[in-house]
Structure 1
Amino acid sequence: MGKTAGDALMDVLVEWGVEVIFGMPGDSINRLMEPLRKHPKLRFIQVRHEEAGALAASAYAKLTGKPGVCMAIAGPGAIHLLNGLYDAKLDHAPVLAITGQVETDLMGTDFFQEVNLDRLFDDVTVYNQRAMSAEQLPVIAIQALRMAMTHRGVAHLNIPDDIPAFKVERHVRGNSSIFVPSRTIPRESDLEKAASLLSNPGKTVILAGRGAHDAREELITFARKLKAPIVLTLPGKGTIPDDHPYCLGGLGLLGTKPAYHAMREAETLVMIGTSFPFIGFLPHHARTIHIDSNPAQIGKRTPVDVGLAGDALYTLQQLNGRLSERQEDEFLHRHQQGMKDWLEEMKVQGEADRTPLRPQTVPVALQEVIADDAVISCDVGNVTVWMARNFLVRNQKFIISSWLATLGCGLPGAIAGKLAFPDKQVVAVVGDGGFAMTMADFVTAVKYNLPIVVIVLNNSKIAMIKFEQEVMGNAEFATDLTNPNFARYAEDCGGIGIRVESRDELKTALQRAFETKKPVILDVLVDPDEAPMPAQVTFSQAKNYAVHLLKEWLEERKDEQATT
């Protein structure tokens, strides 16, 4: 007897290195769940919300480079996947989404839970196909995975409920589960142009993004030859250690003063593996070289003098071979000293012993106990600012929702991290607003015995939005949160919960959390009024913030007068 289409699909997934599938079972995928249940090499992780499943699949792909896979029923389940899939799309993570659909003879009849998934998934995907027969399913599954890996994006298989149960009777087209990655190599003429420009580069700054992650040593050699400091984008955090002598930290609202000032002075800018969107922080009149493996990114946001369409590692190797080491290093040394002062300032912030705790205390205390090879899943919001500035990534894996910046990514990312790297420390650093969006899936970590540490910065605020309202000169509105006791919630879920209100309690709690073999929530009460001020405050921001303070004072006076 031939295999069913469902069995054939599972075999394809295994051929492509898939080990974990995130999802929630239901009626229109029950005929997929049975072959999944029986397959010895696949593990199904039941999530409590499909959005968390898609976010976990995206994080798994970011961390491993393998395809992340999520699965949901037709209608509501498929719709719930979309937020996590857009995270994967925008951060170029290879993800396969498998959704059920009503049976083929019911399609087009406005049947229960029937949604036009072909149209719904069209924008988020690089490949989007509905299975039409048992023989077709394994063929399009191979194509979907090949497209996801080739284009580093989302592929979607829409599978009517009856198809997986049919036998694959006829000869299947002879496509193959083979993926051959390629390396983009820049033109020789462009390399020569770049080397010529860099032979007299003046004050040079390097901006490195996610695309430079696999070229650490070549990047450091390049910087040393040019005597150029390296600034990192948020997705690029960890490309070189944050405390490396050539590193000036991040750029933009999450960035450092040394990075801001170096960019202001730069006469030559080299962008590597980044499509940095906040162009107001880039130098306005610098000669610019842009290296990216995707030619479509070069010159996309800022004028470029030389474009190098190439893999970062290969391109830097080629440039390093063409460059002599500069001797003039005054610019570099000056900003290195500025970075030393900045790091000391960040450490002082994090060592402040006051109540309520400054949120900066958390990343600095975490730094003291975390392993050098740990996995860190950071959520979005003020917590991003504190982790970007006050936590020094050395060799840890650091993931975040970079381009979509979706709240709630931290916990699913940690679940994915522990599944991908079961022997490593895995920590999620989240705000109370973001955590509340996906906190139901803490029980998923408990269910599958995934000893992750979730650190909640609890200020009972949507604090970044509060700050944004204030710098616009507006009064704070609708940013208060009513929170449960997150530590008690952890205990109710079967994990360990620790409430933290002081710096000494934080140190003890972190040590205990990493020693235990259960999922842990540290509910850390932090100051809601600690504003994530940019490293360099503009006059407009200061003026608007002053207007906000005046409005707040006037509102208070009005309330006082109304009660007298």
Structure 2
Amino acid sequence: MFESTGGRYVIDLLKEWKVQHIYGMPGDSINELMEELRTEDDIRFIQIRHEETGALAASAYSKLTGHIGVCLSIAGPGAVHLQNGLYDAMKDKTPVLALVGQVTTSSVGTDDFQELKLESMFEDVSVFNRRVQTAEQLPDMLNQAIRAAYAEKGPAVLVVSDDLFSTKIKREKALTSSEYSKPNIRAAEEDLRDAAKLLQAAKKPVILAGKGADGAVPEVLKFAEKLKAPLIASLPSKGMIPDDHPHNLGQLGQLGTKPASEAMKEADLIVLAGTSYPYREYLPDDAPAVQIDIDPRVIGKYYPSTVGIVGELGPALTWLTQNLDEKDEGFLHTYIEKRKEWHLQLQADIDKETAMLQPQQVLGEIQHIMEKDAVVSLDVGSITIWTARYLKLSKQKMVISAWLGTMGCALPGAIAAKLAYPDKQVIAIVGDGGFSMGMQDFVTAVKYDLPMIVVVFNNQKLQLIEDEQKQAGNKPTNVDLANIDFASFADACGGQGFTAKTRAELKEALAKAKDSRKPVVIDAYVEDISSI
């Protein structure tokens, strides 16, 4: 018979699930678990300054690595702060575990200090959501939670009163295990044959690839080359689908390229490869579609699919590639030429000299110092549009809050990236609005010695919101931001800060940042020009 505390069971099981670190902040409803973590060497506790940062970092870590991200909070206010990051994980379909404290077991239901109905609060943001009633349940419910997070690709929430972590448990045998078997989903050959007929008949096919291409990029590229089709990448797959591949026309939509938009509107067949792209206005009016996804619920969800193929992308595309005859490349050749012209135009925008720094010029300079295996953590706003267009990624990784689109995600993403890949260069690209939402956790990067480059595009306004207000025919209102000296802030945190108002200053700052062994903030003052 084995006896241990509930908290020790949690730690041991997390190690079996290969969890290496937890983001959180100590407090009175998780202190017993913190005591177990205090004596643990194999799981690193990352003390963040705001629980939202912890949840966003856990989500980013999961997106980057495929492993579950773990965050921890107290009951009440700490639990509330987790919500934004968990919604990010839910919307971007990535596994995260949230261990949430609760008032003592004997006090639950008495409206005690900081008590909230946590199960109700987390119901909409989880694929698994349970409160542990007894210490004996804790190990098995933890296994269930993590397995559900992996299987359903979303957040699992386990609410635990702190006294259960210190309660001794006697167990003769385990009821569950820390094993997860990933299903191999293979497409039906009938569906593949129906798709092949459409593909063979198409004269102007276009492929739109999404984050489902992760792990299947070689197959996507071989398929595009055999089909002689232009390739468009959804934003979450930027970097995954190399920007320098000659078929790649870039992104689609508000942040996309002109060639991608034109090719999509001209297409007589679209292939939705691992994406459920939601912006119907950027897709053809009535072209037939082949959609490939492992989730049958998204087939035809945003565009009327003619043939739906439920299965893993790589094997499905391999079958289609092998069963396609050679295609005419006239349509592809047209858009390869348009792609060349577009890139020349973008480069001219980067190279032009202006009195004040412009966003595309900053991205051009970042391009020069960015390493081949760097990780880019991108924030949300006009900065997203500039980066999608002007920053070229080939073998680099990129992480972003894609479907929730929450500002303030870049710094947590950079923290997660450096913990996941300590030997890789990490660059956060963020606007002044997004950075100031959670900039207190820059000191977390300093505390844990996580060298990174944070480039803040500072124009003292919410540029994208202003642009959208103008597009709606409204007068811009409440978009101006009070300026912050972000470089001085970085210095005050123990990192390094540089101010750049000219191209020469920016080049010098980036060169120093690249060689620095500290977290760095570059406060880049940019002209407030429209991005849409």
Contact 2:240 2:397 in 1 (8 A): no
Match of 2:487 in 1: 487
Q: Report the counterpart of residue 539 of structure 1 in structure 2.
A: none
Counterpart CA distance in 1 for 2:350 and 2:142 is 49
Report deviation, 1:172. 5.2
Structure 2 match to 1:91? 92
Tell me how many residue pairs correspond in the alignment: 531
SS of alignment partner, residue 412 of structure 2: helix
Counterpart position of 2:460: 460
List aligned pairs for 1:421-440, cutoff 5 A.
421-440=421-440
- Give, in angstroms, the shift of residue 240 of structure 1: 2.0
Say which is worse superposed, 258-267 or 194-203, in terms of deviation: 194-203
Taking the aligned partners of 2:491 and 2:368, their CA distance within structure 1 comes to 26
Deviations 1:304-331 (A, max 9, x none): 11100011111111111111221x2111
Any conservation in 2 of the 1:487–1:496 contact (CA below 8 Å)?
A: yes
1:472 has 2:472 as partner? yes
Question: Could you say what secondary structure the match of 1:205 adopts?
Answer: strand
Aligned residue number for residue 401 of structure 1: 401
1:100 aligns with 2:95: no
Question: Which segment is superposed worse, 384-393 or 234-243?
Answer: 234-243
CA contact (8 A) 1:104 1:160 kept: yes
**Is the contact made by 2:203 and 2:331 (CA closer than 8 Å) also made in structure 1?**
no
| Counterpart-to-counterpart distance in 2, 1:352 and 1:509 | 20
Residue in 2 that maps onto 1:240: 241
Written as runs of structure 1 = structure 2, the 5 A alignment for 1:196-275 is: 196-275=197-276
The answer to whether the Cα contact below 8 Å between 1:91 and 1:401 also exists between their aligned partners in 2 is: yes
Following superposition, the deviation at residue 355 of structure 1 comes to: 2.7
CA RMSD of aligned residues (A): 0.9
- What is the distance in 2 between the residues matched to 1:108 and 1:59? 34
Q: Over residues 237-294 of structure 1, what are the superposed CA-to-partner deviations in whole Å (9 max), with x where a residue is unaligned?
A: 1232112101000000000000000011100110011111111110112111000110
Query: Is residue 2:334 matched to residue 1:334?
Result: yes
Indicate if the aligned counterparts of 1:224 and 1:325 stay in contact, CA closer than 8 A: no
User: In the aligned structure 1, how far is the partner of 2:108 from the partner of 2:295?
Assistant: 39
Query: Who is 1:3 aligned against?
Result: 4
TM-score normalised per structure 1? 0.93
Note if contact 1:139-1:172 (Cα within 8 Å) is conserved in structure 2: no
Q: Which residue of 1 aligns with 2:530?
A: 531
The alpha carbon displacement at 1:11 in A equals 0.5
SS in 2 for 1:121: helix
The residue number in structure 2 matching 1:389 is 389
Partner residue of 2:447? 447
Contact 2:96 2:155 (8 Å CA) reproduced = yes
**Corresponding residue SS for 2:235:** coil
Partner of 1:303: 304
> What is the one-letter code of the residue matched to 2:349?
Q
- Tell me which residue corresponds to 2:351: 351
Look up the equivalent residue of 1:10 and give its one-letter code. I
C-alpha distance in 2 between matches for 1:472 and 1:522 = 33
Deviation at 1:465, TM superposition (A): 0.2
Q: CA deviation at 1:57?
A: 0.3
Deviation of 1:342 after TM superposition, in Å, equals 0.9
SS in 2 for 1:123: helix
Residue identity over aligned pairs, in percent, reads: 50
Shift of 1:173: 4.1
Farther-moved stretch of structure 1 (199-208 vs 164-173)? 164-173
- How far apart are the structure 2 equivalents of 1:170 and 1:261? 64
Superposed CA offset, 1:151-182 (max 9, x none):
11000010012100000124354211101001
- 1:521-549 per-residue CA deviation (whole Å, 9 max, x = no partner) reads 00000011x1012xxxxxxxxxxxxxxxx
Q: Which residue of 2 aligns with 1:556?
A: none
Assess if the C-alpha contact under 8 Å between 1:71 and 1:97 holds in 2.
yes
Q: Which residue of 2 aligns with 1:58?
A: 59
CA distance in 2, matches of 1:215, 1:371: 23
CA distance in 1, matches of 2:134, 2:42: 25
Q: Does the CA-based 8 Å contact 2:3-2:171 persist in structure 1? A: no
Residue 168 (structure 2) pairs with residue 167 (structure 1): yes
Match of 2:470, SS state, is helix
Cross-structure match for 2:503: 503
SS at match of 2:72: strand
Q: Indicate yes or no: 2:121 matched with 1:113.
A: no
Aligned to 1:555: none
Code of the aligned partner of 1:506:
L
Say if 2:219 and 2:317, in contact at 8 Å, map to a contact too: yes
Amino acid at match of 1:441: D
Residue in 2 aligned with 1:37? 38
**Which letter maps to 1:287?**
P
Aligned partners of 1:354 and 1:502 also within 8 Å: no
Q: Secondary structure at the match of 2:442?
A: helix
Equivalent residues in 2 for 1:354-365, closer than 5 Å? 354-365=354-365
Q: Does the 8 Å CA contact 1:213/1:238 hold for their aligned counterparts?
A: no
Structure 1: runs of 5+ lacking an equivalent: 534-564
Is 1:285 the counterpart of 2:295 in the alignment?
no
Give the C-alpha shift of residue 208 in structure 1.
0.3
Quick check: 1:353–1:502 contact (8 Å CA) kept in 2? no
Q: Deviations over 1:502-521 (max 9, x none)?
A: 11211121111010100000
Q: TM-score, normalised by structure 2?
A: 0.99
- Structure 2 counterpart of 1:161, one-letter code: D
Q: Equivalents in 1 of 2:304, 2:93: separation in Å?
A: 24
CA offsets 1:96-152 (integer angstroms, 9 cap, x no match):
000100001111111000000011111101111111112110110011000001111
- Distance in 1 (alpha carbons) for counterparts of 2:339 and 2:504: 28
Measure, in 2, the Cα distance between the counterparts of 1:217 and 1:104.
53
Contact 1:461 / 1:480 at 8 angstroms: preserved in 2? Answer: yes
Q: Residue 360 of structure 1 aligns to a residue in which SS? A: helix
